[in-house]
Structure 1
Amino acid sequence: MPRFSVIVPVHNVQAYLHECMDSVLSQSFTDFELIAVDDHSPDGSGAVLDAYAAADARVTVLHLPENVGLGRSRNLGSEYASGDYLVYLDSDDTLTPGALRAVADRLEATGDPEVLVFDHARTYWDGVTAPNARADLVAQGEGPGVFRLEERPELLKLLAVAWNKVYRHDFVRREGLTFPPGYYEDTPWTFPALLTARSVTTLDRVCVHYRQRRSGSILSTPSRKHFDVFEQYDRLFAFLDGRPELERWRPVLYRRMADHFTVIHNDPVRLPRAHRAEFLRRGRAYCRRYRAAPAATCPKQPVRLRLRRALVRLGSHRTMRLLSRASRICASLLARARTLRVLARKAALRAHYALQRRRPLDPGLAVFSAYWNRGYSCNPAAIEAKVRELAPHIRTAWVTTPEYAHTLPPGVTRLHPGSPGFWSALARAGYLVSNVNQAHGYVKRPGQKLLQTHHGTPLKHMGLDLRHYPAGADGMDFGKLLERTDHWDFSLSSNPHSTLVWERAYPSTYTTLEFGYPRNDVFQRATAADVARLRARLGVPESAVAVLYAPTHRDYRRGWHPQLDPARLARTLGPDFVLLVRAHYFHADPASRGSGTSEALPEAVPDGLIDVSGHPSVEELCLASDVLVTDYSSLMFDYANLDRPLVLHTPDWETYRAARGTYFDITATPPGPITTSEEELADVLATGAYAAPHSRDLRAAFRERFCPFDDGLAAERVVRHLFLGEPLESLPPFLPPADRTPAPAAALAPAPAPAPASAGPASPSSPAPTPSPEPPSPEPASPALSPASPGAPAPSAAPAPPAHATPPSSPTPEKQPIGSDGPDQEPQPPSARPVPTS
């Protein structure tokens, strides 16, 4: 008996059917059966289902000889179901990654209740995902995990559909629940299910993406079939008549009915205009038939709702139509008023900014920002901290919004983006430092010094090189990009490869500073005690091998879709490993989770797996880990400074390269083993092959090529040259990678074990089959480092090398403990971001 029976009725949806079926069959939780009911579909849906059934034994297809409708198709699927729980999924909707695992874990944690209600999000044809407006109703809260409807009556306000819940099979049989024929078949199913369930729980997680089709759906098809809603409420109240113990719910259901009639009547795409008056007359009769006096416990409703219900009860079609039209006019006027206020404010700010530009520059003011004003992080943060240390005469200000204000160190002024103070500072600051471009409307003044720090070594194409890659360009205005590039006075580079890429992709007259990335200074200054403290804060056991999994963003896919199942990998590796999962920063914001961010992780994260997508500092995660698993993220170039093992998991290399373009083939000269399947990756980690001598040789060559300047003194070079005016020849010389002593890793690699006979080498560049464990890096004796930890680097992508002379060496920087709290980082998603620089 499977845990779930997923029932999918199918009719005329061949364009969406593959996505629906794949969303179920690709679930990490596999104990389910999928029953697809072909409701005599006139298109090719039946053949699509047969192909899935032939390829996967979990799929059962039922072909109906005639079209019977959605409700009866679901009933037939339920008769064939053998699972503990029934899950109904419409064939144009999809399950989110990890949904069944999250549901299964919640059911187990709450003792197998009869009904579980979960959240959903709406997805639109243009790729926009909108959260459920009533998501608050499924919040798990701090009350009992299991309850009856009397304790949470607000659940009746949720969308009355079958697919936002799962139902225990024996409960459905006991109550005799079935779907009726006709439109709005969910009404006499959903309410009885909630009213009769003896145990209910909720799951505060988006489990279904509810597709909003441009055309073809029932709710967007004008027809008299919408009059079916009256029969459905006849069935609902007949059910109530047969259950006297449920009579107290009659006032609530009456109000839901009146509201439902109003929605249908006022929706111009459901009812033909000629039938709306008749519909409201029928509604009046039903209100009179089923009206019930409000119960004493019913909360008082807003005047607007009471007025609408009164008009339905009176059958006042014309008044209802006038009220609806008046509401639309009021909404339009309010929108215009808001627009006028915004335009007036913009005009006032432009005038203010123009006035401030006429005032003298302030050579003692430096303005910093990072990742589109999302907190204190990355290279600008490390430079700002060093300015306060070496150039205390410079006042520093940071541009960020209130939710990231807590990331700012004491003494750093916060500038609110777009405020008068922000524009004043932008107009008068002697120094501007950012890892992205300045705000739209910024005018460069003579005498201002603008440093572009970038936020990653480029593997993927950037700037002008994106002209032939529309997925990566994302509507970029290349003319405006060059205008903003002309503002730069200095461009910071972390290696010769980056220098060549930036100068070609962002051509202008700026000066390149090959100083290294300041955010990576911490890797050369942190101590073993720092590493141990960071691991303890994350909950990593002392003896465990911490694997940081940090994949990059795919321009050709929306949402976060990792190329492996993190929970399954953690279970495969066992108790000797801990998997730290870090979503790319475009998908780390909880507000975007409806589009798939951390939905690849189960709601109840299993042992051996820690979701660190919201952790404020990538540098701290790198220090706490023992090995990095990534794909094409620029984090690999930063991590290489630690001289710790790296593994590249690249199952979609050719697709990624074709969609975005890359500067070189990372699979030809990788920093470590390459895997193309989850099984290969698990084998490389479990056997210790990632730390074999061959892997160390690959990493050493990679460090020489891409880490020549990151010796722990990058921020000092920037401050001394840019803010203190020291000449290049007086700056600290570079220490070669082979002579550095980066922060030591905490755990040794596991003892190597022979690979299974069935598993071949992970790739042509994989290590030998019987590797030896990698010795830990020696811990330096002296301690000393700046009190502020630099900000989180942005996983971007990786690079290729040019021929540059090896810089001279210098003494190893001293070490001291790093700050306990790292800076925040979470740039805005691609759909809203301004023109990027890296």
Structure 2
Amino acid sequence: MPRFSLIVPCFKVQGFLRECLDSVLLQSFNDFELIAVDDRSPDGCGAILDEYAARDPRVRVLHLPENVGLGRARNAGMPHATGDYLFFLDSDDTLTPGALRAITDRLAEAGDPDVLVFDYARTYWWGGTRRNALAHLLGEAGPDPFTAEEFPQILDLLMVVWNKVYRREFVESEGFAFPPGYYEDTPWTFPAMLSARRIATLDRVCLNYRQRRQGNILSTTSRKHFDIHDQYERVFAFVGQRPELARWRPYLHRKMGEHCLDILAKPDRLPPADKAEFFRRTARMFRAHKPEGALVDGELRMLEGSWTAYRVRRQVARAGRETARRAALVRGSAAARARSGWAFVHTHRPLDPRLVVYSASSHRGMLGDPAAVYAKAREIAPQLRGVWVVRDAETAAQLPPGVEHVLVGSRRYLEVTARAGFFVNDVNWPGTLAKRPGSVHIHTHQGTPLKYMGADLRDKPGARLGFDVPQMLRRADRWDYSLVANRHSELMWERAYPCHFTSLRTGSPRNDVLVNGGPSGFRARHGIPAHHTVVLYAPTRRDYRRGGHVDRIDLARFAADLGEGRTLVVRLHPSLANGPARGTGLAELARRGVVVDATEEPRVEDVLLAADVLVTDYSAVMFDYANLDRPIVVHADDWPAYTASRGTYVDVTAEPPGHVSRSYRELAWLFASGAWRDEESARLRADFRARFCEFDDGLAAERVVRTLLLGEPMTGAGTVRIPGQATGRDTLTSA
């Protein structure tokens, strides 16, 4: 008996069918059967299915004599299913790599629940990907099975059949079947979820839900949308036959009303001539199933009135929104004028030479080099007033107590940026910020450049997607000083940003803690045993893939191959922190304790201090980590594609900081054999450190504070003088 029976109905999807089937048949978990149902498709679907069945015994094909629709095609496949769990996969959707393995592991962990709900991502025809907006509910449900009554929020998720697997014996004992119709998922999912005695969740993207440019039947204009009424009648009939489910009637009553009003409100669902009839049928059904004593509020009150009243209310609402929009424009214009006047007033006040404005990573909090400079300034120059610019109130709440801050764009922001003598940032300030004569802009960057930046992106159209290079350079024109940790950075920043600034060989302030050593509570926070070897995997994003994420390593396999006494820590690129990259496995592996997810750790320095070895591909974090003089492994399995799409200043495969692997097999061997920390690794690392950690001596932050903020003579690192005013290219020479 297989673990899964995947039932795949097919109708007019020949352009997508092979991709769907391949996503199943190429899974790493193979204990399944695939029952493909040709719903009398007029295109080539039947032939494609027969082709796959001829070469793979796991595929069985049913050719229906007539077209019966999606629901009944699923029904046709169910009697042939022998698996423990039923998985209804639409033939234009795809499974993500490793999905079936993750699902079967979670089923075993949860003790074979009746229903397992997993996550999905919408994939768009133009290449975009967006994770389910309510994915957080899958984690909030907890690791133990539950009922819908115990965790009713589970019903807030999209009520479709394909983001769940169902225990076959549970389905058969309840007699569930799909009805005919347009909205056939509704009378399946609600009864299944409300009847299930044990529901579990999997916080992992297991399915890519294809958003077609055309062809989604639920987005077409048709009278078939009237089917929603019949389907909810079936749901109410099911609940009516089960007294133990009576408590769900108010919820279903509200859900039905909201669902129907949503269809009615969308301009592309119903023919205009049919909207009045749809409203009246919905209103009759709403009144007929209204539980005694139920309160009706919000837009649902419209269903207790007439069609004319509904239309009037909708027109009034539209008019109100338009009025509000125009009023907002007027208020915005007035506010903009007031803000402009406020800023203008302060720009005519003298600069405050003791006011330093800080920002990091587009106002995301106290991070990186600016945070290190700020901390050192508070220590040795308390007379300076440091103010942080943050993007929102949530970010402000995460700042340490006593840290002065302003919200970007606020009146206080305009005031401090108009009067500040110094600006410290690791990315460019917004274009609206005008640089006053006499103010000093210190640009710290976010590390040593490996990949092309700035003007060098002009010939890399994929890498500069969404970037306006001329605008970027205009913003860089405000820089007075560019901090560098090595001569390579000095040369590359001056090449990438041909602007009027002075390169200052201070070292990277954020790396002071790596050079000097310091406490890191990372291991304790994540429960990593003190005797474990921590392997940090820190991949970067890819410009040759929309969205930036490409799975280069099977994390579960890598963690297992590392063996006992080793903990795998994963830190994704910050730009991938909230996308599908974590949802396709990392979040679930972290929940199960297979890996530690360090993506949201605010201070990357804490993670680096805790790591005994770094595995990366082409992330600039390798230059920082080299300060620790600990082993580094470069996993360069797609180096040609990466360099072609992004461009690199350094060939880290020819001049690496340690051993280079070009396949997973080579990577696993490096750790199994112990070669990752052999003498050759140490020799390569020494050469790399000499070149790229040249000015990191543990005093960078103090050097910046004393030299730039306090005006003291420059000492140490790689410079001998500081110009009084940065009026042109004035590269500082070696001492």
TM-score (norm 1): 0.78
Matches within 5 A, 1:609-628: 609-628=595-614
- The aligned counterpart of 2:216 is 217
Identify the range of structure 1 (150-159 vs 631-640) with the bigger mean alpha-carbon deviation.
150-159
Indicate if the aligned counterparts of 1:562 and 1:600 stay in contact, CA closer than 8 A: no
CA contact (8 A) 2:425 2:442 kept: yes
1:304 aligns with 2:289: no
Letter in 1 for 2:324: L
1:551 paired to 2:539: yes
Match of 2:342 in 1: 352
Query: Equivalents in 1 of 2:657, 2:55: separation in Å?
Result: 38
1:480 matched to 2:480? no
- How far residue 126 of structure 1 moved from its aligned partner, in angstroms, is 5.4
1:567-607 Cα shifts (integer Å, max 9, x gaps): 2211222212110111111122xxx24x3335322525344
> Which residue in the other structure is 1:601 paired with?
586
1:321 to 311, 324, 327: 311
Contact persistence 1:622–1:639 (CA under 8 A): yes
Offset, 1:148: 3.8
Shift in alpha-carbon separation, 1:250–1:572, aligned structure 2, 3 A: same
Worse overlay, 219-228 or 244-253: 244-253
Aligned-pair CA distance for 1:65? 5.2
Q: Report matched runs for 1:19-168 at 5 Å.
A: 20-21=20-21, 24=24, 31-43=31-43, 45=45, 60-64=60-64, 66-95=66-95, 100=100, 103-120=103-120, 122-125=122-125, 140-141=140-141, 145-152=144-151, 158-168=157-167
Correspondence for 2:625: 639
Q: In terms of mean alpha carbon deviation, does 67-76 or 170-179 score higher?
A: 67-76
Which of 382, 404, 427 does residue 413 from structure 1 map onto? 404
Q: CA deviation at 1:371?
A: 0.3
Match of 2:576 in 1: 587
1:390 match? 380
Counterpart Cα distance in 1 of 2:72 and 2:363: 53
Pair 1:517–1:281, CA change in 2 (3 A): closer
**What letter matches 2:81 in structure 1?**
A
Classify the secondary structure of the residue corresponding to 2:424. Answer: strand
Contact (CA 8 Å) 1:102, 1:602: kept in 2 or not?
no
Is the CA contact 1:251–1:295 (under 8 Å) kept in the aligned structure 2?
no
Amino acid at match of 1:178: A
2:422 matched to which residue of 1? 431
Residue in 2 aligned with 1:777?
none
CA contact (8 A) 1:366 1:430 kept: yes
Gaps of 5+ in 1: 735-803, 809-838
Shift of 1:189: 1.4
Q: SS where residue 552 of structure 2 aligns?
A: coil
Distance 1:666 1:61, change over 3 A: farther
Distance in 2 between residues matched to 1:357 and 1:370, nearest whole Å: 24
Greater RCO structure (CA 8 Å; 6+ sep): 1
Aligned CA distance change for structure 1 residues 424 and 229 (closer, same or farther; 3 Å): closer
Using the alignment, how far apart are the partners of 2:439 and 2:12 within structure 1?
A: 62
Q: Is the 8 A contact 1:39 1:66 kept in 2?
A: yes
Q: Is the 8 A contact 2:505 2:732 kept in 1?
A: no
Percent same amino acid among aligned pairs? 53
Contact 1:560 1:598 in 2 (8 A): no
Q: Within 2, Cα distance between the matches of 1:320 and 1:410?
A: 52
| Deviation at residue 235 of structure 1 after TM alignment | 4.0
1:686 aligned to which of 657, 672, 676: 672
CA distance in 1, matches of 2:696, 2:560: 36
Distance in 2 (CA, whole Å) between partners of 1:683 and 1:54 is 38
| 8 Å contact kept, 1:559–1:597 | no
Q: Is it true that 1:566 corresponds to 2:555 in the alignment? A: yes
1:499-553 CA distance string (max 9 Å, x none): 12111111012111122211112122116xx36x653444222332210000001
Partner Cα separation in structure 2 for residue 281 and residue 384 of structure 1: 65
Once the 2 structures are TM-superposed, how far is the Cα of residue 646 of structure 1 from its aligned partner? 1.0
Query: Separation in 1 of the partners of 2:222 and 2:451?
Result: 51
Aligned positions of 1:476-555 closer than 5 A: 476-526=467-517, 530=519, 534-555=522-543
Deviation at 1:450, TM superposition (A): 0.8
5+ long unaligned stretches in structure 2: 720-730
- For the 8 Å contact 2:115–2:200, the answer to whether it is kept is yes
The separation in 2 between residues aligned to 1:563 and 1:522, in whole angstroms, is 31
- What's the offset of the Cα at 1:558? 1.2
Q: Please tell me whether the aligned partners of residues 435 and 478 of structure 2 are also in contact (alpha carbons under 8 angstroms).
A: yes
Verify: 1:630 aligned to 2:616, yes or no. Answer: yes
Determine if contact 1:101/1:602 at 8 Å carries over to the other structure: no
Q: 1:15: how far off? A: 4.7
Cα deviation for residue 693 of structure 1 reads: 1.9
- The question of 1:575 aligning with 2:564 is answered yes
1:451 to 434, 442, 445: 442
Q: Is the 8 A contact 2:205 2:585 kept in 1?
A: no
Query: Alpha carbons of 1:363 and 1:705: their partners in 2 closer, same or farther (altered >3 Å)?
Result: same
SS at match of 1:9: strand
Alpha-carbon distance between aligned partners in 1 of 2:515 and 2:134, rounded to the nearest angstrom: 49
Q: 1:349 to 1:124 in 2, by over 3 A?
A: farther
Structure 1 pair 347/7, CA: closer, same or farther in 2 (3 Å)?
farther
Secondary structure, aligned partner of 2:442: strand
User: Could you say what secondary structure the match of 1:341 adopts?
Assistant: helix
Task: Give me the whole-angstrom Cα distance separating, in 2, the residues matched to 1:563 and 1:47.
Answer: 34
Sort the Cα spacing of 1:251 and 1:611 in 2 relative to 1 into closer, same or farther, 3 A. closer
Q: Residue 731 of structure 1 aligns to which amino acid in structure 2?
A: G
CA distance in 2 between counterparts of 1:321 and 1:383 reads: 61
What secondary structure, in the 3-state scheme, does the structure 1 residue paired with 2:462 have?
Answer: helix
- The whole-number CA distance in structure 2 between the counterparts of 1:301 and 1:22 is 48
Letter in 2 for 1:447: G
| Aligned twin of 2:689 | 703
Sort the Cα spacing of 1:135 and 1:505 in 2 relative to 1 into closer, same or farther, 3 A. closer
CA contact (8 A) 2:204 2:583 kept: no
The offset of 1:212, in angstroms, is 3.7
Residue 539 of structure 2 aligns with an amino acid whose one-letter code is P
Query: What is the aligned residue count?
Result: 721
Give the equivalent residue in structure 1 for 2:291: 294
CA distance in 2, matches of 1:716, 1:461: 30
Alpha-carbon separation, structure 2, partners of 1:235 and 1:409: 55
User: What's the CA shift string for 1:322-362, capped at 9, x where partnerless?
Assistant: 43333333333334433443343333222211211111011
User: Residues 351 and 241 of structure 1: is their aligned pair in 2 closer, same or farther, counting only changes over 3 Å?
Assistant: closer
**Which residue of 666, 672, 689 maps to 2:658?**
672
Distance 1:367 1:27 in 2: 52
Question: How much is the aligned-residue C-alpha RMSD, in angstroms?
Answer: 3.3
Q: Report if the CA contact (8 A) 2:128-2:546 is conserved.
A: no
Aligned-partner residue type, residue 604 of structure 2: V
Classify the secondary structure of the residue corresponding to 1:431.
strand
How far did 1:274 drift? Answer: 2.8
Q: What SS does the corresponding residue of 2:71 show, helix, strand or coil?
A: helix
Distance in 1 (alpha carbons) for counterparts of 2:397 and 2:262: 44
CA contact (8 A) 1:23 1:95 kept: yes
Q: Does 1:199 align with 2:198?
A: yes
Q: Deviation of residue 474 (structure 1)?
A: 2.1
Q: Is the 8 A contact 1:96 1:596 kept in 2?
A: no
Other-structure match for 2:640: 654
Determine the structure 2 residue equivalent to 1:756. none
